[in-house]
Amino acid sequence: MKFNRVSIIFFTLIVSIVMLTACSPATAPTQASPIVSVATQAPTATLAPAATAASVPITSTAATPPAKPDWFNIKMTDVRTGQTFSINDFSGKVVLVEPMAQWCMNCIFQQLNVRKMSEQLGNPQDLILISLDIDSNEDGASLKKYTADLGFEWRFAIATLDVERALGNLYSAEYLNPPLEPILLIDRQGNAHQLQFELKQADELQKIVEPYLAN
């Protein structure tokens, strides 16, 4: 078979191209970049405010509650004796007021320490102990049984709504949350002093109360 010059050139060109392609190094496939997973921090849950034991509207909080506020005149009934009393009945004495509820275990521990504190002081006549049940679902009959079962012998009363509002408005909403163990100490001049929200041991209470009894 005879090839003309053009055919030979074309054939040579084709062979050269094929050989160059075969000799060229294969291009390595591009390696996918590894994906780094970055974990995001879970959003912090917003905690709802704790409900108070008694559903009493809180409208304001006075920075400095007045001496002998109006609620000192409100009459309440001692469930143990049936006698009525008000805070003002004990003017000139030291009065310890403890908001509480019958379901509150912290309150029982606090009351045991209050009783021990009074005994350590010799049960002074000018120290008046008052526990006020601020749970509107509890009544005088159950509170009387509560005091008998635990052997408590000071004044226990169901707080009226006006008293509950006064405690929340004049001092803070924490006074309507019994597990916080709120206590007010009212001096001989009628000034209310707020104790820390925590379990207060008998010795600690004694150190707090003694100076007020001495004045």
* CATH code (residue 197): 3.40.30.10
Q: Can you give the residue range of the structural domain that contains 129?
A: 70-214
Domains: count for the chain: 1
Give the range among 1-5, 7-11, 54-58 with minimum mean pLDDT: 54-58
Residue at 13 is within a domain: no
Phi and psi, residue 97, nearest 5°: -115, 125
The proportion of the chain whose per-residue pLDDT surpasses 70, expressed as a percent, equals: 70
Residue at 148 is within a domain: yes
Question: pLDDT tens digits, residue range 94-133?
Answer: 999 999 999 999 999 999 999 999 999 999 999 999 999 9
Is the entire prediction scored with pTM above 0.85? no
* HSE value, Cβ hemisphere, 13 Å, CA-based, for 13: 6
Predicted pLDDT of residue 14: 54
Residue at 104 is within a domain: yes
Predicted pLDDT of residue 37: 32
**CB under 8 Å to 81, separation ≥6 — which residues?**
none
Residue at 51 is within a domain: no
